[in-house]
């Protein structure tokens, strides 16, 4: 049903300005697409690094990439009935033990795994990802297991888990809440070294204490059921320096496909197909999908200087989207590749900024990024900085 609603919303966007207002309202309705973290699992800011000590006295330092994976685990725990903070702690213990909280490819066994975003290469049999899950054991396909959000869902399991009823996830372990956390992790991982997980319990507890904050009370801090997201630590331009050219700015223009006057609610940046697209800020993905009519579309919610902001990325090809709904991302993270899907005449990124969050009006993203001192905003094609109201790369998004 959600896919049909999103498809309808995007289709309405492409019908014209009047219908687009309805379409954007349906697409961006916070009540319809939510990544709320109930209970005590509201995310706070993600620091650049965190130092903690294992049970056996070894001090380790985790970087922002590792902490972002932990945030994805926490987000998934908060969205999975029956998991909560105890389950999140167990999952983080398991991921620390199995991969040091890194998304590991395994090109020796699965060469294609190196084609997905990853934090390095592992070599443990046919294991992949944060929890070192094995396709041959039924945990999922290579493509699925190279998605940190999928791995977290599979680890928690239960009736809504992608691996239900086998292999067993945490929710499938009888009385897991009363087991020692390390024993519970071992019950899911079924490792040949069952005593390893307890060593990372104090590290997991420090991660939880650092990344979470008290959930907002009724009527405060989370209007309309919108996602609770961490304050961003940086803002970046969504394309690599030197790869893009400004083509169609925000504002009134003549649509190059229909020839009709229209209002362009984003900025177009032409770039070669498969150019990496970056998350502009730390945040939570609230929509990531593809429809034949609308093309690829990602929406991320952010907190910037205490205020809600949404960013939208449009026109990626179906196999060029690398994040999933509910996933926590960091500024500069590779979330997609440039494509030319939907209402488009050539490879480019259509980028929108919505102060106030999803469903709110857009502003000129060039001006917004400049005012917020985004990294890399001056790194495009300097010969093409003068924009005209008529574009050779176009979309119907308002």
Of the CA atoms within 13 Å of residue 120, those in its CB half-sphere come to 11
pLDDT-derived band at 391, boundaries 50, 70, 90 = very low
3-state DSSP assignment of residue 53: strand
Kindly list the distances between the CA atom of residue 242 and the CA atoms of 336, 351, 377, 391, in Å, as whole numbers in the listed order: 18, 17, 10, 20
pLDDT-derived band at 171, boundaries 50, 70, 90 = very high
pLDDT-derived band at 226, boundaries 50, 70, 90 = low
Phi, psi dihedrals of residue 298, rounded to the nearest 5°: -125, 135
Q: CB of 288 within 8 A of CB of 323? A: yes
pLDDT average, residue stretch 203-220: 72
If we measure between CA atoms, which residue out of 297, 288, 296, 283 comes closest to residue 235?
283
- Please report, for the chain, the start and end positions of each structural domain, with discontinuous segments joined by +: 2-32+230-384, 48-221
User: Read out DSSP for 134-166?
Assistant: -GGGTS--HHHHT-HHHHHHHHH-STTSTTTTS
CA distance 389 to 55: 62
pLDDT digit string (tens) for 328-375?
Answer: 888 999 999 999 999 898 999 999 999 988 888 999 999 999 999 999
289, pLDDT greater than 70: yes
Residues 6+ apart with CB under 8 A from 366: 246, 249, 250, 267, 377
If we measure between CA atoms, which residue out of 192, 185, 193 comes closest to residue 88?
185
For the domain 2-32+230-384, what is the CATH code?
Answer: 2.70.70.10
pLDDT digit string (tens) for 94-138?
Answer: 999 999 999 999 999 999 999 999 999 998 789 999 999 999 999
pLDDT digit string (tens) for 9-22?
Answer: 443 333 333 333 22
pLDDT average, residue stretch 189-205: 92
pLDDT average, residue stretch 295-316: 93
| Residue position matching structure tokens 């169609």 | 248
CA distance 263 to 391: 12
How far is C-alpha 170 from the geometric centre of its chain's CA atoms?
A: 23
CA distance 210 to 359: 31
To which H or E segment does residue 311 belong?
A: strand 307-314
Top-confidence residue, 237 or 228: 237
pLDDT computed for residue 18 by the predictor: 32
| pTM exceeding 0.75 | no
């Amino acid at each position: 049903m959600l896919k049909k609603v999103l498809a309808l919303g995007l289709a309405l966007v492409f019908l014209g300005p009047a219908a687009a207002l309805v379409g954007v309202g349906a697409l961006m309705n916070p009540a319809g697409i939510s990544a709320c973290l109930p209970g005590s699992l509201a995310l706070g800011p993600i620091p650049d690094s965190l130092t903690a000590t294992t049970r056996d006295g070894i001090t380790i330092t985790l970087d922002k990439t590792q902490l972002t994976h932990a945030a994805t685990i926490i987000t998934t725990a908060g969205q999975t009935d029956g998991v909560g903070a105890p389950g999140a702690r167990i999952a983080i213990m398991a991921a620390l033990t199995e991969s040091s909280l890194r998304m590991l490819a395994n090109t020796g066994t699965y060469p294609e795994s190196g084609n997905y975003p990853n934090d390095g290469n592992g070599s443990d049999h046919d294991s992949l990802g944060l929890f070192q899950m094995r396709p041959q054991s039924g945990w999922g396909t290579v493509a699925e297991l190279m998605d940190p959000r999928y791995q977290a869902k599979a680890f928690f399991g239960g009736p809504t888990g992608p691996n239900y009823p086998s292999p067993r996830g945490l929710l499938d372990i009888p009385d897991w809440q009363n087991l020692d956390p390390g024993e519970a992790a071992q019950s899911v991982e079924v490792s040949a070294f069952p005593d390893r997980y307890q060593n990372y319990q104090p590290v997991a507890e420090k991660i939880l204490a650092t990344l979470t904050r008290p959930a907002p009370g009724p009527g405060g801090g989370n209007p309309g059921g919108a996602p609770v997201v961490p304050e961003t630590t940086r803002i970046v331009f969504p394309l690599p320096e030197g790869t893009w050219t400004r083509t169609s700015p925000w504002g009134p223009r003549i649509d190059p496909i229909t020839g009709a006057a229209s209002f362009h609610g984003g900025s177009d940046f032409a770039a070669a197909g498969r150019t990496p697209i970056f998350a502009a800020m730390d945040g939570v993905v609230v929509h990531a999908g593809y429809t034949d009519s609308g093309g690829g579309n990602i929406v991320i919610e952010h907190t910037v200087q205490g205020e809600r902001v949404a960013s939208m990325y449009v026109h990626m090809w179906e196999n060029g989207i690398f994040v999933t709904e509910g996933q926590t991302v960091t500024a500069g993270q590779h979330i997609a590749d440039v494509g030319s899907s939907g209402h488009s005449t050539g490879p480019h990124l259509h980028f929108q900024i919505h102060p106030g969050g999803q469903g709110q009006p857009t502003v000129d993203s060039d001006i917004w990024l400049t005012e917020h001192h985004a990294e890399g905003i001056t790194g495009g094609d300097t010969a093409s900085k003068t924009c005209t109201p008529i574009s050779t790369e176009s979309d119907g998004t308002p």
